[in-house]
């Protein structure tokens, strides 16, 4: 693909350029609750979303004060996996932390 193709009679056909479409992106969001500790939220942001500590603190405060915080923007499959990972970690620790994703 992308190069010229040869036809049966020796003719060369140029393949027309195909526009590559970027996949849609989705925002992953953490939601506040009254039970999950702020320390655990920071830990999740650092481990699941690979955030530096200061950025994780800022987003944790957004979750705590505004009720939600955006953790990142990803293609669908990655966003879905990150949400599932957050839920699994929260269950392991006995927290009701919820995450969701929406089209960016």
Is residue 22 over pLDDT 60? yes
Across 62-72, average pLDDT: 97
Per-residue confidence at 29, pLDDT binned at 50, 70, 90? very high
Percentage of the chain modeled with pLDDT above 70: 84
Q: Tell me if 80 sits within 8 A of 101, measured CB to CB.
A: yes
pTM of the shown model: 0.80
Across 28-37, average pLDDT: 97
Q: Kindly give, in sequence order, each residue whose CB lies less than 8 Å from that of residue 83, ignoring residues fewer than 6 positions away.
A: 28, 99, 100, 101
Q: Kindly give, in sequence order, each residue whose CB lies less than 8 Å from that of residue 54, ignoring residues fewer than 6 positions away.
A: none
From the list 26, 25, 33, 27, the residue with the least C-alpha distance to 98 is 33
In the chain, the domains with their CATH numbers are: 25-103 (3.30.1390.10)
Across 58-63, average pLDDT: 98
């Amino acid at each position: 693909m992308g190069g010229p193709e040869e036809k049966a009679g020796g003719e060369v056909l140029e393949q027309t350029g195909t526009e590559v479409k970027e996949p849609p992106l989705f925002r992953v969001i953490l939601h506040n609750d009254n039970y999950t500790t702020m320390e655990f939220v920071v830990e999740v942001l650092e481990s699941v979303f690979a955030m530096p500590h200061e950025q994780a603190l800022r987003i944790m405060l957004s979750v705590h004060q505004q009720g939600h915080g955006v953790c990142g923007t990803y293609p669908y499959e990655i966003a879905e996996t990150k949400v599932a990972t957050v839920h699994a970690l929260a269950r392991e620790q006995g927290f009701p932390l919820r995450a969701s994703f929406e089209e960016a």
